[in-house]
Structure 1
């Protein structure tokens, strides 16, 4: 009989938790968005006796400084009902003593190979790569050593053709299956010298929509796997090529569906820090306020005076990058949004780029641009969008705009009504949506605009500015209209 290790695995528990098995502590975890596991082998009872696992949770929500997303104890407007406790899948696994802890899969499209690292305590793994059910490559991979596996006749991954290669890794008696896509992301000039986002070495426009990932019956937790698929598939059917996952880390199933369905992802990191000041996070929506986020003065302004809290954010950021590194569809990392807990954004962007040089970085989405990262990232809600006169060589993106509001009776969460421009019927909303893109967005593309993020996928609590209602039962605009608009968002 092979010696085994037993571990309960938690997808995410918000925010701090302590796990005991049969009254003995198995471990603790701090942070509400990343997975963790404990070895409980030595705590289990022999002979088939029942075992008791208890999870104790504490959650300060927005009264603490850890990453909290858009949760607030006093919810309202753009801040939502707080989530607490277990909100992602929990399961137990039994693995051999010698087993695969995780895989790192890095496609190198220019070199027609994939780099595989098998993380384990030792041994040499056998790796097989399949395409369309046929084995196309094999290799031996010593634990902890990156091994490049050449591939013939490489088939690229794109939103239009989201082809995935399957990977099987065998280490002793352990077998792990995964997948990867052959694609590359970057920035570079188009034929006219304009900085653009690149997919597989070619300019590619990211036509995106803001995706909060909130649900009326489960808050952070979707009602089913089919519900996750519905949101992604509906946005793709409407002609969007990208989802900006806003201030939340989803279960890995969501990213898997983006990978296989073919939708690019911009991944926000989860904001934390002290209380946010209106002059920092709200005033820039109306006034051209751009403040320095570095040094003692900048840290105090942005609610980041606590050095330990800043380091905790960096820990969670590093954990997020490592956790999602293998996701095929993630094209852009977004460390900060609209000054929420922002600090040293240019330096943080450099750290992200060092952690993952295969993707681009939007260092400060919205306002308080520090000149860092790969993108100049604008939010425009209360004024006309115009391409800035002064350019600095970064790629220009409109990372939030629109937010047009329409209440659909019988499908609203409450009587509150928040949005950036209010309409009273679908016809007027549709006309305004089409005019916005025809007059402001489409003409900006030849002048450098390279990505857009419309606000938003669905209503969320008070916010009634979704393309879908909160219950996802009604699409507020004709699908043909939205598809027609999105067809024009191309390079």
Structure 2
């Protein structure tokens, strides 16, 4: 009977908490918004490529206040916000503008499980946009700048007995600052969208020993049938050992040991290669030991996959996957949500767009001027989709000239702006290095903040020689990098050709179809061309694809259609913004997309 009473009390408390929160505003929502559990928000382990068994999710309702920049910490908070949804989003329950003159303060309490005693406690932030300061129990413990990458603090020295207090302050100048921000602007219109301020990815705790694994960097070499592991360990001593086990299903196929801090190479016999058609992943178990005693164990995965380029027998430089010519075709994917903005309502929603991309017959996604949570890339790895990863643009410049190799004027960034770009681009590549789905880095798009193109491209190539670099997607061309990337709307067109690089059409299409009941705003919706129904849009899509087939023979090795979904005022998606309706005939698009992809071998 006591157990029944306790359960009833807990259910009542949970229901009361849920009742205090509801989505803000009257914008359209996805079906997943109604599935949100305030007491269990995005409960999946945030970093599957490097996973431990024990962790604690800090998502949920926090206190918040929006104050003038530089104001003292609030003594009382103005309301509750659902973390990790951005302040301006409906699912935050707030949906308020912030801007460069204001700061967002967050606060919550948490308890460290007694079983974590004598462990170091790591506080992880998936991503916070843009400048973050963190306090534990009133003590400032650190700060971070950057809106797209994870960061971590060891909070152990600042903990006390009982409940702990976590306070976070965030400032984000949106387009008043030079920082990478993607499509965010103060006054959204056309191809520019609502600002995203504050915490927008999972916040979580993890207990570890003083000696623990901090990072794992895997590099596959299918030509040598090897995979290299660079394992970074905290507080390691001479004599500590790292052991890596490689598994094919439940079968261990290889193991190797090395002193902590040493690179470790493992031969993979009869390697199974990863591709969109066969996305095979090897599982890993990595253990750090000291004096024969286990200190840390993480589980992860890698793939045997190679991306490269090679001149074919017709003299055309082609992209290759696993040493075979391979045409890459996919949508421009911006990763925006009508209810969560940068943040998908659930993990199922996050995965959904990738599944639909495969349903439409594509083998690739261009992740456009945004970086996703780690789970998104793991979904791409597991489902089998290639990814071109953009650097989110920042600063204010668009001196665009994409019709000639030599006439583009580069932007002269300030020293501060340049330093921010370099820091954040390096952090993004470090964060995403080990995800096999990522095959191309894109430092610049359409001259947005484009500067020192040759230098940035060369540095990117040197920092990660395992991938191709598309230095300026549709931007000012400087005959650098691996790819010449043209943008042409609405129909694909080859208006330039480079005999020494891979040639692609990095954006085309943009066929618009506004559907009442599924629009972010009424009136003034935008597309490169507009039609009245699904058949008309599909007919136009197929006509463009037929033209694209001709251009594959002429020299294109990849193509990007704009775009996966409608986004705010843009209505040129394959799906509506709320993901309720496929605006094109999926079967017809799948069929013609398959023809485009296989045209390379016809």
Q: Shared fold by TM > 0.5?
A: yes
Measure the CA separation in 2 of the matches of 1:481 and 1:222. 28
> What does residue 434 of structure 2 align with?
326
Measure the CA separation in 2 of the matches of 1:288 and 1:466. 30
Deviation at 1:89, TM superposition (A): 0.6
Q: Deviation per CA, 1:44-88, whole angstroms, max 9, x where unpaired?
A: 003xx2110001111101100111111001111000000011000
- Secondary structure of the residue aligned to 1:397 is strand
> What does residue 87 of structure 1 align with?
200
Measure the CA separation in 2 of the matches of 1:153 and 1:2. 45
Q: Deviation per CA, 1:297-352, whole angstroms, max 9, x where unpaired?
A: x334xxx2x02211210111111111100001001000000011110112111101
Asked if 1:407 is matched to 2:519, the reply is: no
Asked if 1:128 is matched to 2:239, the reply is: no
| Alignment partner of 1:307 out of 415, 423, 427 | 415
- Secondary structure of the residue aligned to 1:256 is helix
> What does residue 86 of structure 2 align with?
none
Deviation at 1:386, TM superposition (A): 3.0
Checking the alignment, whether the CA contact within 8 Å between 1:2 and 1:96 is kept in structure 2 is no
Measure the CA separation in 2 of the matches of 1:417 and 1:251. 29
Measure the CA separation in 1 of the matches of 2:475 and 2:443. 13
> What does residue 165 of structure 1 align with?
282
| Alignment partner of 2:329 out of 207, 215, 224 | 207
> What does residue 177 of structure 1 align with?
299
| Alignment partner of 2:374 out of 252, 255, 258 | 252
> What does residue 533 of structure 2 align with?
425
Measure the CA separation in 1 of the matches of 2:231 and 2:498. 43
Residues 78 and 50 of structure 1: CA distance in aligned 2, closer, same or farther (over 3 Å): same
Residues 407 and 2 of structure 1: CA distance in aligned 2, closer, same or farther (over 3 Å): closer
Deviation at 1:467, TM superposition (A): 0.3
Asked if 1:141 is matched to 2:258, the reply is: yes
- Secondary structure of the residue aligned to 2:411 is helix
> What does residue 146 of structure 2 align with?
31
- Secondary structure of the residue aligned to 2:462 is helix
Measure the CA separation in 1 of the matches of 2:415 and 2:174. 20
Deviation at 1:9, TM superposition (A): 0.2
Checking the alignment, whether the CA contact within 8 Å between 1:9 and 1:38 is kept in structure 2 is yes
Question: CA-atom RMSD, angstroms?
Answer: 1.5
Measure the CA separation in 1 of the matches of 2:189 and 2:406. 26
Checking the alignment, whether the CA contact within 8 Å between 1:118 and 1:142 is kept in structure 2 is no
Q: Deviation per CA, 1:21-56, whole angstroms, max 9, x where unpaired?
A: 00001100111111101111110003xx21100011
CA radius of gyration, larger in: 2
Deviation at 1:271, TM superposition (A): 1.1
Measure the CA separation in 2 of the matches of 1:423 and 1:142. 63
Measure the CA separation in 1 of the matches of 2:168 and 2:485. 41
Deviation at 1:367, TM superposition (A): 2.4
> What does residue 485 of structure 2 align with?
377
- Secondary structure of the residue aligned to 2:473 is coil
TM-score if structure 1 supplies the norm length? 0.94
> What does residue 554 of structure 2 align with?
447
Asked if 1:397 is matched to 2:494, the reply is: no
Deviation at 1:3, TM superposition (A): 4.3
Q: Which range moved further: 121-130 or 72-81?
A: 121-130
Asked if 1:12 is matched to 2:91, the reply is: no
Aligned positions, number = 473
| Alignment partner of 2:584 out of 470, 474, 477 | 477
- Secondary structure of the residue aligned to 1:332 is strand
| Alignment partner of 2:494 out of 386, 391, 401 | 386
Q: Deviation per CA, 1:460-485, whole angstroms, max 9, x where unpaired?
A: 00000000000001001111110111
Q: Which range moved further: 120-129 or 457-466?
A: 120-129
Measure the CA separation in 2 of the matches of 1:29 and 1:320. 14
Gaps of 5+ in 2: 1-115, 289-293
Checking the alignment, whether the CA contact within 8 Å between 1:117 and 1:143 is kept in structure 2 is no
Q: Which range moved further: 458-467 or 429-438?
A: 429-438
> What does residue 276 of structure 1 align with?
397
Deviation at 1:136, TM superposition (A): 0.1
- Secondary structure of the residue aligned to 1:472 is coil
Checking the alignment, whether the CA contact within 8 Å between 1:374 and 1:394 is kept in structure 2 is yes
Measure the CA separation in 1 of the matches of 2:258 and 2:544. 53
> What does residue 344 of structure 1 align with?
452
